[in-house]
């Protein structure tokens, strides 16, 4: 089945460690996105990529990094510079282009940093 996978579902890290969240899609979508969601709040865009080997900062990129070496994969690294990394992270993908398309979301990763 086509879809987006994120692993792991739950992730625990000690403060000061970098951690990488995985996101893979087999929908053949050009565009991929990373969002952060804090409890009871909406989604905030961290980074997005509209094509392989290219990505742009979203609204809250500080303390995060990404890569887009393959169309299917868009991993997110939460660095030790991120002041408050504990959150729910959602990856999404969509077709890009001149028409508007909905985003398909992965199941998310809950990151807890202590």
Partner 1 sequence: AQKITQTQPGMFVQEKEAVTLDCTYDTSDPSYGLFWYKQPSSGEMIFLIYQGSYDQQNATEGRYSLNFQKARKSANLVISASQLGDSAMYFCAMREINTNAGKSTFGDGTTLTVKP
Give yes or no for residue 52 binding partner 1 (CB under 8 A): no
Determine how β-strand 54-57 pairs with β-strand 43-51. antiparallel
Token pair of 98, please? 């001149």
Token pair of 35, please? 């969002």
Give yes or no for residue 103 binding partner 1 (CB under 8 A): yes
Give yes or no for residue 98 binding partner 1 (CB under 8 A): yes
Give yes or no for residue 13 binding partner 1 (CB under 8 A): no
Closer by beta carbon to partner 1, 7 or else 41: 41
Helices then strands (H, E): number in the chain?
A: 0, 11
Q: Give the C-alpha separation, 36 to 89, whole Å.
A: 5
Is residue 13 within 8 Å of 5, Cβ to Cβ? no
Q: How far is the CB of 12 from partner 1 (least distance, A)?
A: 17
Give yes or no for residue 41 binding partner 1 (CB under 8 A): yes
Binding site for partner 1 (CB under 8 A): 31, 33, 35, 40-43, 45, 48, 50, 56, 58, 88, 90, 92, 96, 98-108, 110
């Amino acid at each position: 089945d086509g879809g987006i996978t994120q692993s792991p579902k739950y992730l625990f890290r000690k403060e000061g460690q970098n951690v990488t969240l995985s996101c893979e899609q087999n929908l053949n979508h050009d565009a991929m996105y990373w969002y952060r969601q804090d409890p009871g709040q909406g989604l905030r865009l961290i980074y997005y990529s509209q094509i392989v080997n290219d990505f742009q900062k979203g609204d809250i990129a500080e303390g995060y990094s990404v890569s887009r070496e393959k169309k299917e994969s868009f991993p997110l690294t939460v660095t030790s510079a991120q002041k408050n990394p504990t959150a729910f992270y959602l990856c999404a993908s969509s077709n890009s282009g001149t028409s508007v398309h909905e985003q398909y979301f992965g199941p998310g990763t809950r990151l807890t940093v202590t």
